[in-house]
Amino acid sequence: MKKLFLLLTITLLLYSCNKNEDKPSPFIEEDKMENILYDVAILYGMQSTYGGGTSDTIKQIDMKSIFKKYDIDSITFTKNNRYYVGLDNLIYFKMQNRIMKRLEEQRNAVDTLLSKENKAKVEQLEAVKPLIRKRLLLQDSISKG
């Protein structure tokens, strides 16, 4: 009897530790869910950068726009998000890491473009400096003259 009780207890314990829920319906595949979460991260970043939506562009983009883009509703998103968070095999954690990597790649690309743009502006200013000096010297000689 003790062995049966111990076996039942271990079985219940193992079963209760396994939190894998049934897939929600409609189910969002992992790649699509990752893309949705990426867009959500971009949206929240834009909102925090622009003070919660003071820009006209930010006002036009909200979660509803993301749901529309992926043809889902908020309930479907919430159920699927809970499903992925509840999985024991770290899928959600891995998704978040891939999202962070994508965000970093985008930031690096933007930083590269900005540094190239700034370098071009500096080069333009350097090219104009001799002309400005000549003009200032000319004006100075005219005013003294």
The pLDDT of residue 1 is above 50:
no
pLDDT in tens, 15-39: 455 455 689 999 999 999 999 999 9
- Give the three-state DSSP class for 29: coil
pLDDT in tens, 124-133: 777 777 777 7
Q: What is the pTM for the complete model shown?
A: 0.63
Alpha-helical regions (H) of the chain: 2-17, 30-49, 56-60, 63-69, 74-86, 91-144
- Calculate ∠ Cα 38-40-46, nearest 5°: 105
- Residue 70's nearest CA partner among 97, 93, 37, 100 is 37
Count of CB atoms situated within 10 Å of the CB of 10 = 10
Higher pLDDT, 65 or 45: 65
pLDDT in tens, 69-103: 999 999 999 999 999 999 988 999 999 999 999 99
Confidence of residue 60 (pLDDT cuts 50, 70, 90): low
Residue 38 and residue 46: Cα distance in Å, rounded?
Answer: 12
